[in-house]
Structure 1
Amino acid sequence: MLLEIAAGGWVLLVIAALIVGISKTALPGAATLSVAIFAGVLPSRASTATLLLLLIVGDVFALWAYHRHADWRTLLRLAPAVVAGLLVGVVFLAFADDGAVRRVIGVILLVVVAFTLWQRRGGDVIAPRRSVAVAYGSLGGFTTMVANAGGPVMSMYFLAARFPVKAFLGTAAWFFALVNIAKVPFAIGLGLLTTHAVLIDLVLVPAVLIGAFVGRRIADRIDQTLFERIVIVLTVVGAIYLLL
């Protein structure tokens, strides 16, 4: 598979790996663009597991940078729903084709964005509501299992909870580190995580590391309002891409 990837494909994969690093330490939701690039260069199902390992590498650096800023009450509130969403995602991934996966996730993301903006317009803080945590958690678990696209869903939840930038990034870092590691056995069981995927990732890991350091510099300087707008825009772009 390494030799079958054209030079242009490798350039795109390196760019996607850089985006993974930046998304983990500065701009949650940006990794949706990496999902799109990987799916365009590699076979769709193989791309899911290949990207998963790079996301875990990015998670390590996000934890290094923001582990002390996490809101553990929020994480514990989300946990049961996320596990349920992961299991539903495993079943869905075993039977659905690539087109169905993309369309379902695209619709979910747009609905989540619309709901979050509506909530924020009313000045409401949604995090304490158990029903909302169940909805976001189950959708986040489902979308991250089937296409590594849980970032935008959970970004909308943390955004609606009005977390400051560092608390947002710290809570997201722990959330995705735990969830992505939990996905590895399922990826192996479904036959998606192969030796070829690991070899590709070994080539791309340096790009993830560079992106993570760049993202860390961005996070130290970004304005809260600008940060929130970028998260929303990246989520919408990712959703539209998946639908088209």
Structure 2
Amino acid sequence: MDTITLWQLAALAAASTLVGFSKTAVSGANTISLAVFAAVLPARESTGVLLPILIAGDILAVLVYRRHAHWPTLLKLFPAVAVGVVAGTVFMLWADDAAVRTSIGAILLFMAGVTIWRRRARPEPAPEQDDEDGPTRGGRLKARSYGVLGGFTTMVANAGGPVMSLYLLSAGFRKLGFLGTSAWFFLIVNTSKVPFSVGLGLIDARSLLLDAALVLFVIPGAYLGRACVGRINQKLFDRIVIGATVLGGLQLLVR
């Protein structure tokens, strides 16, 4: 981190702006930010630098969409997510960068494939239901499966966004309910990850110093996302989320 060039700092700043945009517009798009941070910094250490940036974006998203969260869904997810976070912490004790990237990339592509298959097999919700906050379908087994995967991926690579995005889409959430539920979910989960990341040595004084230089770039991204989200129709919104998930998974696999 002591040898970051100006161009690398600019790339991290752009990735931080994308974090803000993804938190208020297209959740899951920040997998691109994850890839940028992992390209500029050592992949393992990059997760510790990115976490406070994500939390800043979560705070902004909660301020915008706090009234649209579906709390029954959150309460159903949290126990499974806790299991995934603990499993991810154990994994991080021995896994190297290559193992982390390969595992998360494969999981993201698999989940994207499952979601595409499910959406082709079932009719989509009516597009005029954009203001609906709750899910149209769900299930305990699905919530537990996605919850464990989300907790695991968010702990090892801050890549829980795409997994949870796929769950919320498959459960039938519309835009506002999707963004509000996702905002509260990741504010709570990412904040709870801080002690684990400190214990693993991923967050320290140097990483926080870099965060202080990058966190302000989250704000314009969040503002841009808030301005754009109302212009994105539901079908396009779903496709962008799935596309960002596939792109992020491929980036992790090919790097």
Quickly name the TM-score band, shorter chain normalised: over 0.9
Q: CA deviation at 1:220?
A: 2.1
- Find the aligned partners of 2:46 and 2:109 in 1 and give their Cα distance: 23
Give per-residue Cα distances to partners, 1:22-41, cap 9 Å, x unaligned: 01000111110011000111
Contact 1:126-1:132 within 8 A present in 2 as well: no
- 1:203-242 equivalences in 2 (<5 Å): 203-242=213-252
Q: CA deviation at 1:116?
A: 1.2
Identity of aligned residues (%): 52
For 1:199, which of 163, 184, 209 is the aligned residue? 209
Paired position in structure 1 for 2:27: 28
1:136 partnered with 2:135: no
- Find the aligned partners of 1:32 and 1:127 in 2 and give their Cα distance: 26
- Find the aligned partners of 1:126 and 1:216 in 2 and give their Cα distance: 25
Query: What SS does the corresponding residue of 1:221 show, helix, strand or coil?
Result: coil
- Find the aligned partners of 2:63 and 2:136 in 1 and give their Cα distance: 28
Change beyond 3 A, Cα 1:126–1:107: farther
Q: Give ranges in structure 1 of 5+ residues lacking alignment.
A: none
- 1:63-142 equivalences in 2 (<5 Å): 63-123=62-122, 127-142=137-152
Paired position in structure 2 for 1:189: 199
**What TM-score do the two structures reach when normalised by structure 2?**
0.93
Contact 1:27-1:231 within 8 A present in 2 as well: yes
Aligned residue pairs total 243
Q: CA deviation at 1:114?
A: 1.1
Q: CA deviation at 1:110?
A: 1.1
Contact 2:136-2:173 within 8 A present in 1 as well: no
Q: Give ranges in structure 2 of 5+ residues lacking alignment.
A: 124-134
1:174 partnered with 2:184: yes
Paired position in structure 1 for 2:132: none
Q: CA RMSD in A?
A: 1.2
Change beyond 3 A, Cα 1:76–1:217: same
Which residue identity is paired with 2:28? Answer: G
Paired position in structure 1 for 2:130: none
Query: What SS does the corresponding residue of 2:22 show, helix, strand or coil?
Result: helix
- Find the aligned partners of 1:128 and 1:20 in 2 and give their Cα distance: 28
Give per-residue Cα distances to partners, 1:79-114, cap 9 Å, x unaligned: 111000000000001110110111111111111111
Query: What SS does the corresponding residue of 2:230 show, helix, strand or coil?
Result: helix
